[in-house]
Amino acid sequence: MIQKSPFVTKEIKRLFIISLLISSVTLSCTKDSDRSNNSSESNPITVFEPVDRDFDDIKESGVLRMITFYSSNTYFLNQGIEVGFEYELLKEFARENDLAVEVIIVGAEENPFDLLNKGIGDVIAANYTITPERREVAKFTRPYNIVDQMVVYSSELRDRPQTLDELSESGIPISVRRNSSYYSRLMELNEEEYNFNIDPISDGMDTEAALFQVAEGNLVATVSDDNMYNSSNRYMEGLYPGPVVAESDTIAWAIRSNATELESKMNRYLYKHFRFSEDKDEPRRSTFLNVLRKKYFEQSRQMAQYYNPEWQYQSMGVISPYDEMIRTVADSIDIDWLMLTAMIAQESSFNPNSKSWAGAVGLMQIMPQFVDSTAYENYQELYDPMTNIRLGAGIIKEHIEHYSYIDSTEQQWAFALATYNVGPGHMADARRLTIDQNKNPNDWDAVSGSLIKLMQRRHYQKARYGFARGIEPVQYVEEIMNRYRTYQAILALTEQQQAAGFTNVLGPTFNR
């Protein structure tokens, strides 16, 4: 086991607090409220009839929309890069099916099953247990994980019960959300033979937030999935394991009840990564799934590297390490800084030393041959973050201005992004092809179809600039737009959290 130095523990705790500020109060369900049933008092389900949208429709759109919550193992931003156990598992499914992933973050007054059945999203990937109540409104895939529900104590509690009988007799308050499966399970046990002292806490506090309060000694005990406990125990001090209250909960993705083709595709994918052995004793997991589990849940060197204490996030609402630079540059030329941030994530994953096979370098992957050599005599200057951002922003600004006659700002950005990726020559060819097909050359959907057609010989041999791998700019635009919308949602949640104040997370007590 890797030892936790005081410095690492302190920094990790600080980073963790920042993530909680975004997730634990504003969202009425995160990670495991996500595990609330359809009688949740906060956000009851209102849509029971699903729209007609199956895998063929998703494939035609090119985008799989993931409904989830902002938490440390479902989905979150790490230095601007989208990560999380659920996100990475679903993204691999999307990759195998040539789909982009758009993340739909559940808002404070939204129910994920309503978002699913309305067609706003296509799959709920949020560490969901399969329950009879949920089966009434959605269908579930094969399971991809099994967890035990366990009591977790504060290490400040001296006499920690080791069995359920001892816990029942002790009268120790067990703090759980009323709309969680943990609460339901404790109530079931009380109806059977126990007398647990159940302490309802705010529905806005997710399992991570409750564990943090237990670690700090502000709560005496709570209930958590064992994988969540293992993950939290890696970077929180003050947690102590207690008895198991439920064994072998199955975790799966939720999809619309009429999405039979999507269910089949997902089940085949999940079967490759998780299935039971012949004796049904131990599940068999793929190497890929084991790597994800180790990365997010187990005490491993990968986890220690993942929570790098050098990441100096000083406030909420931080998207990337270069937010201040990006804002400064974007404001100076009057473009959307968040879209510029989404571009940098796509181009270089915020790695200032990135260099492509074609020679593009830096945060915005600038091609040296297209830069004024007299202004940048030293090639290494292009690796300077501010220099690179200024150059890239200047280029995208020129493209936006080129398409300024298009009414829609979103359409202007789509054309500008595609031009940044594939070049103005291929874009001109695609627009001419669009005109030849009696379609609107100022409509991105029409032109994106033409870009893809430029991969076909009968079309590109007539084009001035020849063959273009048109699928790449189309996916490039789609992924940046999706990421941009996700960034917007995260910042909106942050603003709501700031307006609500921090005391519910950092204070010594919570509103009951």
The Cα-based distances of 500 to 48, 251, 357, 420, 507 in angstroms read 32, 32, 47, 40, 13
Q: Per CATH, is 323-484 categorized as 1.10.150.50?
A: no
Three-class SS of 335-398: CCHHHHHHHHHHHHCCCCCCECCCCCECCCCECHHHCCCCCCCCHHHHHCHHHHHHHHHHHHHH
- Taking only the tens place, the pLDDT of each residue in 424-437 is 999 999 999 999 99
CATH code of 6-145+251-309, in short, is: 3.40.190.10
Domains 6-145+251-309 and 147-249 share a fold: yes
Q: What's the CATH architecture for 147-249?
A: 3-Layer(aba) Sandwich (3.40)
- Other C-beta atoms closer than 10 Å to the C-beta of 165 total 12
Going from N- to C-terminal start, the domains of the chain cover: 6-145+251-309, 147-249, 323-484
Q: Which residues touch 164 (CB under 8 Å, ≥6 apart)?
A: 189, 194, 243, 245
- Taking only the tens place, the pLDDT of each residue in 211-254 is 889 998 999 999 999 988 887 887 788 999 999 999 988 899 99
Give me the chain's average pLDDT, please. Answer: 82
Q: Measure the CA–CA gap between 327 and 119, rounded to whole angstroms.
A: 34
Q: What is the DSSP string of 67-128?
A: EE-BBTTTBEEETTEEE-HHHHHHHHHHHHTT-EEEEEE--TT--HHHHHHHTS-SEEEEEE
The first and second tokens of residue 25, run together, are 């109060």
- Other C-beta atoms closer than 10 Å to the C-beta of 67 total 24
Helix (H, G, I), strand (E, B) or coil at 501: coil
Nearest to 280 by CA among 307, 248, 246: 248
- Taking only the tens place, the pLDDT of each residue in 357-400 is 878 899 999 987 766 654 555 678 889 999 999 999 999 999 99
Helix (H, G, I), strand (E, B) or coil at 454: coil
Q: What are the residue numbers of the active site?
A: 347
Output the pLDDT for position 127: 85
Percent of the chain with pLDDT over 90: 54
Q: Which residue has the higher pLDDT, 210 or 401?
A: 401
Average pLDDT over residues 267-290: 86
Residue 116 has pLDDT above 60, yes or no: yes
26, with CB counted inside 10 A (0-12, 13-18, 19+), is: buried
Q: Measure the CA–CA gap between 484 and 492, rounded to whole angstroms.
A: 12
Q: Which residues touch 281 (CB under 8 Å, ≥6 apart)?
A: none
Structure letter (DSSP) for residue 33: G
Q: Which residue has the higher pLDDT, 261 or 38?
A: 261
- Taking only the tens place, the pLDDT of each residue in 305-335 is 443 333 333 345 678 889 999 999 999 999 9
Output the pLDDT for position 350: 93
The Cα-based distances of 173 to 76, 201, 220 in angstroms read 31, 11, 7
Nearest to 329 by CA among 384, 410, 287, 276: 384
**pTM passes above 0.75:** no
Q: Measure the CA–CA gap between 202 and 20, rounded to whole angstroms.
A: 14
